A and B are shown apart, each in its own frame.
Chain A
Amino acid sequence: MKVIIELFGASRDFSNQNLLELDVANDSTIKDVRNKILDYLNINFKGNENFIKIVHSSAFCSNDNIISDNYKITNNEKIAIIPPIGGG
């Protein structure tokens, strides 16, 4: 199944399309999605260390709620990656 990841902040540098569309196994969780993003970065950015740090320190959000690592994804679900924040 597919998951669509909206990119924000520093994670926008992961793609020039402001989102990633990744194939994940059925019943995948956020933890699995995090690992899929790391795989994507290893393939496309040679494991860029800064990008990997961003993924490890990011939260994820669905329907305007922060979700935990054991949250189960549904097919074609759109989630957002929330890197470390600092506005104002």
Chain B
Amino acid sequence: MLHTKIIDVKKRKLSISLAEEFISSSDYGASIFFSGTVRNQNNNKSVVGITYDSHDALVIKSFEEIYNETNQKLKIEDKAVFIEHAKGFLNLGEISIVIAVACKHRDEAYVLSRYIIEEIKKRSPIWKKEHYLNNESNWLKGNPIVHEKD
């Protein structure tokens, strides 16, 4: 069971409560909620906010691929997964990503949650532009998506 969405933060904010509602089931004995939030420091600079950009279709596709491959790679077939990522400007402390997982047992829930966030970092086309106290802003350097070059 999977829920994925890119949220335009002008329309609504991300929240844990929607995730809790989605994964809640007496079939599962372990739930993990992960949220990423905007922090006030990066590389010795005072951050006041982050703008998130996203190629929505590719991001959703990557979320689905990551979810599907956990059947084989992690041998976790019975699960509920909720993934939402923000798009737009976020202030300090606001939530940029929510990943909620529910599994039968805690071991697999911890593994699944960690796997999903690490794969999203590597594979989902999302970009961050940091805004600083001195009114400057900067796109953060990321990692290239693997692609074929002649």
Across-interface contacts of B36 in A (CB, < 8 A): 88
Q: Please report the number of residue pairs spanning A and B whose Cβ atoms sit closer than 8 angstroms.
A: 95
Across-interface contacts of A86 in B (CB, < 8 A): 121, 126-128, 140-143
Closest to A61 in B: B58
Contact A84 B52 (CB under 8 A): no
Contact A87 B120 (CB under 8 A): yes
Contact B147 A66 (CB under 8 A): yes
* A84 to B117 alpha-carbon distance, docked (Å): 17
Q: For window 53-88 of chain A, which residues contact chain B by CB distance below 8 Å?
A: 57-61, 64, 66-70, 80, 82-88
* A87 to B6 alpha-carbon distance, docked (Å): 12
**Is B96 in contact with chain A by the CB < 8 A criterion?**
yes
Taking the closest CB of chain A, its distance from the CB of B111, in whole angstroms, is 18
**Is B79 in contact with chain A by the CB < 8 A criterion?**
no
Across-interface contacts of B49 in A (CB, < 8 A): none
Q: Contacts A10-B139, A68-B147, A87-B85: A80 and B55 contacting too (C-beta < 8 A)? A: yes
**Is A9 in contact with chain B by the CB < 8 A criterion?**
yes
**Is A31 in contact with chain B by the CB < 8 A criterion?**
yes
Q: Contacts A85-B125, A86-B121, A88-B120: A59 and B145 contacting too (C-beta < 8 A)? A: yes
Q: For window 1-41 of chain A, which residues contact chain B by CB distance below 8 Å?
A: 8-10, 12-13, 31
Closest to A54 in B: B139
B interface list, Cβ under 8 A from A: 36, 52-55, 57-59, 61, 85, 96-97, 117, 120-128, 139-150
Q: Contacts A87-B52, A88-B97: A68 and B144 contacting too (C-beta < 8 A)? A: no
Which bracket fits the contact residues of A?
Answer: 20 to 34
Contact A85 B142 (CB under 8 A): yes
Across-interface contacts of B123 in A (CB, < 8 A): 85
Q: Contacts A8-B53, A82-B58, A86-B142: A59 and B147 contacting too (C-beta < 8 A)? A: yes
22 inter-chain pairs at a CB distance below 8 angstroms, sorted by A residue, are A10-B127, A12-B53, A59-B145, A60-B147, A64-B58, A68-B149, A69-B148, A70-B150, A82-B125, A83-B127, A84-B142, A85-B122, A85-B124, A85-B125, A85-B142, A86-B126, A86-B140, A87-B54, A87-B96, A88-B36, A88-B85, A88-B126
